[in-house]
Each structure stands twice: as structure tokens, then as C-alpha cells.
Chains A and B, each alone.
Chain A
Amino acid sequence: MQIQKTFEKIRSGLSKGAVISLKIAAYTFPLYIFVDILNQIGFITKIGRFFAPFMRLMGLPGDASVVLLTGFSINLYAAIAAMAPLHLTIKQITIIGLILGIAHNLFIETAILSRVGAKGYFVVLTRLFVAFFAGGMLNLLW
């Protein structure tokens, strides 16, 4: 009985997981190709040059600003799709992971958190501030 129940759970988890994976792949797959091509034609380098002075504070190359913008506005899967073609170092990936782990998917998550009862602008500002602070600290300490 219990085993049968667990088996049922595994099956429904498998099918739900497959559906979620497909939904996520529907934008990570094209986004990866898009960013990889932007990178190959040198467009990312151009955007990166603009943000480079700020990104340097967190030990990141200017190119990574595209990854952060993607993560802030969309979500982590999109950011990872944008980051993979850039071939960053382990330290840089971990710093981006920390920054984006704290602040991501800001539009949707802030909407949800304000429905729970928290003030939207307060949540966004706290997250961005803590995220950049954490990124800068990790860069200094590592």
C-alpha cells in the first residue's frame, strides 16, 4: 500500500518534472543560442564595456552584466542560459550565483511578496542592496 503510494508519487513527479523541464527549456534553449551568437558577433563585449567599472567592484567582467540583468528581470534559468556561453571562472560563477540567488525574478516575486503583505519597493531595494554587497564582499574575501 505504502510502496504503491510512493510509486504513484514518483510517477506523478516524473511527469510534472518533465512538463516543467519542457517549459523551462522553451526559453533557456533559444536564449542560450541567442546569447552565444551575440557573444560571437561581439555585441556582449560592447554592453560589457559600459558596465565594466561597476562590475569590477564585484570581481566580474563587464560581459557578466548581461547575465545579471537577465536574472534580475527573468529568472535563474534564463541567467544560467545567458551565462553558460561566456565561459567564466569558478569564482566568477559563484559570485554571480550569490548575487542572483539573492535578487532574481524581481517583477514576479515582488508581486507575490506584496500579496503576502510586504511592501514591494522595500523588498526590491533590500534584495538588490544585499545582493551587490554580498557579491562585493565575496570578491574581497575569496
Chain B
Amino acid sequence: MVIDIFHSLTGALYLTLKLSAIIIVLTIVYEIYENSKLYRTAKQLIGVPLKKLGISSNASITMITGLLLGIAYGSAILIKDSMESKMSYTDIILSAVFLSICHAVIEDTLIFVAIGANGFILLASRTALALIAVTILNRTLNK
């Protein structure tokens, strides 16, 4: 049995470079986005569809942060926001279920596309599943 270390090393290097490129570009975009007017515009834009799902506008910032940054990177904002804003029990449960199915959509999709996945299918099915799960849950909670 011969182990080809060179094959492992070049593969590892190639993957690391690819991931680093994605991470650096995303960090720059987040850095600019964080303090821009876009943040407030996004908050207003997302309010209407959220209401249809049964999530009040108190959870807007939680949802935007989770969707774009993800749960681990966005945790500081998520925890801070949940303590400051007056989210109802329904808001918390519905946004937690939505975000646990569909979060960090930009980063997750890009890194899988980088190794060959179909990004459109990934994005569309996650969004659809999260919408379905939240709709069902909202109906049951309201009964």
C-alpha cells in the first residue's frame, strides 16, 4: 500500500486557497454592508413578507443577520437583538425554525458551488423548505 502524500498536499492547498478567496471577498462585502443604508432598507423590505409568515417586524434584524451572516458568525448580533427587542414567543420559535433551515445562504451556497454543487437548487430548496416549515408551524401554533 503506497500513500500518495503529494496528492493529498496539493489537494489540500487547492481547497484552502479556494475557500480563503471566498471568505476574504465575503468579509469585505459584510464590512461595507454593515454600516450602510442598505441595512435599513433591507429591514423595511423584509418586514412585509415576514408578516405574511406570522413573524412580527420585531424579529427583522434577527432574520436579516441570520440569513446573511449565519448563526455562528451572527451570534453576537442575534443574542444582543433577542435581549433588546421585544420578540414574542411565536416570533422566537418561527424565526428559529426558519433560520435553522435557511441561514448563511450566501456563504454556504458559495462554498458548495466552489466544489461543484448546483447553487440554484441548493438555494431554492432551502428557501422553499423553510417557508413550508414556518407556514405549517404558524398554523398549528395559532390553533
Asked if B23 and A24 make an inter-chain contact with CB atoms under 8 angstroms apart, the answer reads yes
Interface residues of A in 16-55 (CB under 8 A from B): 16-18, 20-21, 24-25, 28-30, 32-33, 36-37, 40-41
> Least Cβ distance of A31 to chain B in Å?
8
- Is chain B's binding surface mostly helix, strand, loop or mixed? helix
CB of B96 within 8 A of chain A? yes
State how many residues of chain B have any CB contact under 8 Å with chain A.
56
| CB of A9 closer than 8 Å to a CB of B | yes
Number of A-B residue pairs at CB separation under 8 A: 172
- The reply on B141 being an interface residue by CB < 8 A is no
Is B8 in contact with A134, judged by CB distance below 8 angstroms? no
Q: Which of chain B's residues has its CB closest to A90's CB?
A: B116
Contact A101 B32, beta carbon cutoff 8 Å = no
Mostly, the A contact residues are helix
Task: Report the minimum CB–CB distance from A106 to chain B (whole Å).
Answer: 10
Q: A29-B15, A36-B11 are in contact. List 8 more A-B contacts (CB 8 A).
A: A9-B35, A24-B23, A28-B19, A32-B8, A41-B1, A84-B15, A84-B115, A113-B100
Q: List 8 A–B pairs whose Cβ atoms lie within 8 Å, in order of A's numbering.
A: A17-B24, A90-B117, A93-B112, A93-B115, A97-B117, A105-B71, A127-B100, A134-B126
A-side residues, CB < 8 A to B, are 6, 9-10, 12-14, 16-18, 20-21, 24-25, 28-30, 32-33, 36-37, 40-41, 75-77, 80-81, 83-85, 90, 93-94, 96-98, 101-102, 105, 108-109, 112-113, 115-118, 123, 126-127, 130, 134, 138, 142
Interface of B toward A, CB cutoff 8 Å: 1, 3-5, 7-9, 11-13, 15-16, 19-20, 23-32, 35, 62, 71-72, 75, 78-79, 82, 87, 89, 92-93, 96-97, 99-102, 108-109, 111-112, 115-118, 121-122, 125-126, 129, 133
